[in-house]
Structure 1
Amino acid sequence: MTLGFSVDELLPKARGGGRLAIGLSKLAEDEWLQPEPDLAAREAGFAAYPQGIQLSPEGDAPEAELAAMLGLSGGLPEAARAHHEDMCLLILRPGDEQYRLVGAAVAWPSDWTPADKLGLPLRALHAPIQGYEEQLATGVDHFMAKLKPGAIYGRCNWFIAATGERRWVAEPPELAFAQVSAENAGETLFVRSERQTLRRLPGTGAILFTIGIYVSPLGALSPTNVQRLASAMEGLLNGEGERRGAGAYAHALIGYAQRQVVERAR
């Protein structure tokens, strides 16, 4: 089942509010990575954020295997520059129970710093995510342990941001969304979706985690997706609102969606 390669395509399949869930879909080989990446944008992204590349010696063999699998020379940075997706490598050390991050090539992070995460095990990597330990950690650990070479799985999520920039550093919500209203939400709110995939490398056994970033102004989305987001706001306000800052924009987004309904009815 394809996930698509745009916010409009991803939103119907993305989790939005409520209890955390892995929500994985099995993907075919030709559904794995974006087929026509904007390589100039990738080069510009890494040039603007060189600290997005973080490598450790433990990742040397998986890096080489990945590059060869993709028909490239080099390692993880070359693989990520040649594709739309940011890429991370995780390995399971002997005696460990959790995979840990040993390499990252990330031009467009969603409010995280690769240098702070290198070497950390999965649960520590996800510690800032509200509810991860209680609701998701055990399931993720089990999935990673059972993932077979050749299988590709994908999932997607979404965030509301106050910028259309692909590299996103969140500001305090009361500042970021201070100028947002029901009247201007179509231009001042942006929907950011991560299209994530997981795949085990057959030789080294490392797991490749890819993150494809897609961003759209709220007003450019289909009316169905605008209404979908408005419906999700209640879940965010009652659940993850503090982490996602929903209290600062939810009422404006709901008001914008209602205005759309009224305008279409005229």
Structure 2
Amino acid sequence: MREILQTSIPYDFQTAKPLPGIAPIGQEGWLHQDEAFAGQMACRDELLTQKRGRVLALDAQAVPAAQELLDEVLAQTYPGQVSQVDRPDGVTVHIDRDDPLGTLGRIVQEDFCILQKIGDEHVMTGAVLCFPASWTLSEKFMRPLIGIHDTVDSYDAGIAKRVQRLFDGVKSGRPMWRFNALWYVDPDLHQPRSIHDRRNKPDPAKADYFRSERQCILRLPQSNAVVFSIHTYILARRDVPNDENSATP
């Protein structure tokens, strides 16, 4: 059990919002960096080296979108760095455009899922997912939105239609965001779990760690693909406000 923790979360996670709970992103931008950067990036490096097949998947049709996403992230986080990235933790990462998701997974804290419109639905055609919160990439890869969320109890037909309209309507240059908030008994960032082995949600009063994902949705202007990014925050109970005992999906 490895503790890689933040001491605060940069948004109000105490106010529960019903699904899908989406709002426009303000001036803070859609990519974040925090005090857990070095620890999270070391964990990502390890996962992408030792468990690459479990944390990365990319269909051929999504390669141009993944390369476009890499260029977008580089422009925002490491402007001017062309052949390599010098991370704030002192690690140098080679920029490999033939491995766009592998590169992305090693330069920022966010996980990324690429969804492309196939027929009437958006399908996950690529992802680098180092920090899953009780789901597995292999079971969601190449599945549509409704299939990706089939284990979320509150994700009914009505919510599914609203989310599909959101993915259809999100505009380039106007990203959206939401968050979830869950109690966990351990702080591990990498917590894959099969749909056949559902997590037993702990009593918040007895759980030691609070996990929240800042999830952003944006459209890539050239490929028209939709990107779902996930920045994971984990707090020890001592750093969670005393009145925090709620959770959102």
Normalized against structure 2, the TM-score is what? 0.76
The one-character-per-residue Cα deviations of 1:83-110 (angstroms, maximum 9, x if unpaired) are 11111100002xx111000001011101
Q: Give structure 1 stretches of 5+ with no counterpart.
A: 241-266
Q: Give structure 2 stretches of 5+ with no counterpart.
A: 1-6, 75-94
- Bigger helix fraction: 1
Does residue 23 in structure 1 map to residue 21 in structure 2? yes
The one-character-per-residue Cα deviations of 1:196-218 (angstroms, maximum 9, x if unpaired) are 00010000000110011111122
Does residue 53 in structure 1 map to residue 56 in structure 2? yes
- Number of the residue aligned with 1:255: none
CA contact (8 A) 1:92 1:100 kept: yes
Name the SS for the 2:42 alignment partner: helix
The one-letter code sitting in structure 1 at the alignment partner of 2:216 is T
- Number of the residue aligned with 1:81: 106
Matches within 5 A, 1:56-135: 56-71=59-74, 73-74=96-97, 75-93=100-118, 96-135=119-158
CA distance in 2, matches of 1:197, 1:172: 25
Shift, 1:7, TM fit: 3.8
- Bigger strand fraction: 2
Root-mean-square deviation over aligned CA pairs = 2.8
The one-letter code sitting in structure 2 at the alignment partner of 1:12 is Q
CA distance in 2, matches of 1:113, 1:181: 24
Change (3 A) 1:208 1:173: closer
The one-character-per-residue Cα deviations of 1:11-47 (angstroms, maximum 9, x if unpaired) are 23554xxxx4211121146421113533323213433
Change (3 A) 1:32 1:124: same
CA distance in 2, matches of 1:172, 1:120: 19
The one-letter code sitting in structure 1 at the alignment partner of 2:59 is S
Change (3 A) 1:104 1:198: same
CA contact (8 A) 1:101 1:117 kept: yes
- Number of the residue aligned with 1:194: 213
What is the total number of aligned residue pairs between the two structures?
A: 214
